[in-house]
């Protein structure tokens, strides 16, 4: 059967299609009911959001604080952010060539006084001090080192009762007398003159020996008398005089003290002696 048999022309490919019947119109949407003005929103509806924001801010603050604490230098002084460019570097103090206040130098002098003698340095500070009741062995060691020579030794006999034997330590120009204790005799702690000293030179081994009253070996009789001695005692040699200074200073109190004596040959001082005055 063909299109002609149906009484309709055979369609060609160029013919327009038949128009579609129109769609029925959509019914209108019902109007929305107006929203009732209501009360407050339900509690907690936005609380999680606000809490999350606060927690985030706090977390950022903690991180910033930790970063500042970790990068800040230790100590109380804040770190210098910029280095000075124009200031000259601070000069460091050089080490002093002098000795510290609590140190002493090499001995240059041997100073005598009523209580004993002392090796002193160039500043007058004592390097070694000896009192008349002290152990003489330490004094011998110190003097040997200072004088640069060891002493000779001999024994000066006493009288067997009131005056003990003495060991004499003798350098060229200086003698140190130290009593020898015996059974039944006086001890160093009891005797009025356990150790005494005499010198006849102003210098030994580079060490200057210095007496009181500005007197020295070679001082004239006039200078001795001008120093104000307490007494003048004639000696065995013709014209020799022993001058006594500070007679009342001799005392067995602590510390033991001696007087000073200047022996002369009638014109100048030949020796200076530190001795207990009442023993003469």
Mean pLDDT by 10-residue block, N- to C-terminus, for the chain (280 residues)?
45 47 54 44 49 58 54 47 44 40 80 98 97 97 98 92 91 97 86 96 98 98 97 90 97 95 97 87
Per-residue CA distances from 229 to 44, 125, 198 (Å): 114, 28, 18
Q: CA end-to-end span of the chain, whole Å?
A: 183
pLDDT confidence of residue 24: 55
pLDDT confidence of residue 278: 80
**Does 108 sit behind a cis peptide bond, omega within 30 degrees of 0 on the bond before it?**
no
Task: Provide the Cα torsion 53, 59, 61, 67; round to 10°.
Answer: -150
Domain ranges for the chain, please list them: 109-279
pLDDT confidence of residue 67: 54
Instruction: For residue 204, give both structure tokens.
Output: 């030994």
pLDDT confidence of residue 7: 46
pTM, two decimals, is 0.63
């Amino acid at each position: 059967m063909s299109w002609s048999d149906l009484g309709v022309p055979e369609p060609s490919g160029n013919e327009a299609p038949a128009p579609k019947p129109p769609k029925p119109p959509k019914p209108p949407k019902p109007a929305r009911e107006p929203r009732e003005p209501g009360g407050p929103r339900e509690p907690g509806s936005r609380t999680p959001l606000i809490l999350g924001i606060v927690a985030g801010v706090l977390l950022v603050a903690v991180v910033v604080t930790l970063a500042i604490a970790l990068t800040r230098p230790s100590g109380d002084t804040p770190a210098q952010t910029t280095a000075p460019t124009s200031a000259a570097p601070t000069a460091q103090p050089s080490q002093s060539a002098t000795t510290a206040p609590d140190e002493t130098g090499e001995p240059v002098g041997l100073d005598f006084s009523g209580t004993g003698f002392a090796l002193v340095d160039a500043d007058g500070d004592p390097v070694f001090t000896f009192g008349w009741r002290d152990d003489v062995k330490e004094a011998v060691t110190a003097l040997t080192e200072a004088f640069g020579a060891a002493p000779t030794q001999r024994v000066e006999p006493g009288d067997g009762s009131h005056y003990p034997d003495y060991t004499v330590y003798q350098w060229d120009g200086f003698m140190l007398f130290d009593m020898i204790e015996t059974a039944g005799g006086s001890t160093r702690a009891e005797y009025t003159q356990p150790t005494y000293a005499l010198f006849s030179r102003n210098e030994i081994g580079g060490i200057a020996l210095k007496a009181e009253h500005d007197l020295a070996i070679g001082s004239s009789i006039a200078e001795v008398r001008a120093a104000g001695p307490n007494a003048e005692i004639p000696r065995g040699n013709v014209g020799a005089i022993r001058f006594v200074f500070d007679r009342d200073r001799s005392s067995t109190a602590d510390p033991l003290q001696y007087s000073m004596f200047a022996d002369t040959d009638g014109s100048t001082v030949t020796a200076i002696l530190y001795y207990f005055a009442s023993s003469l």
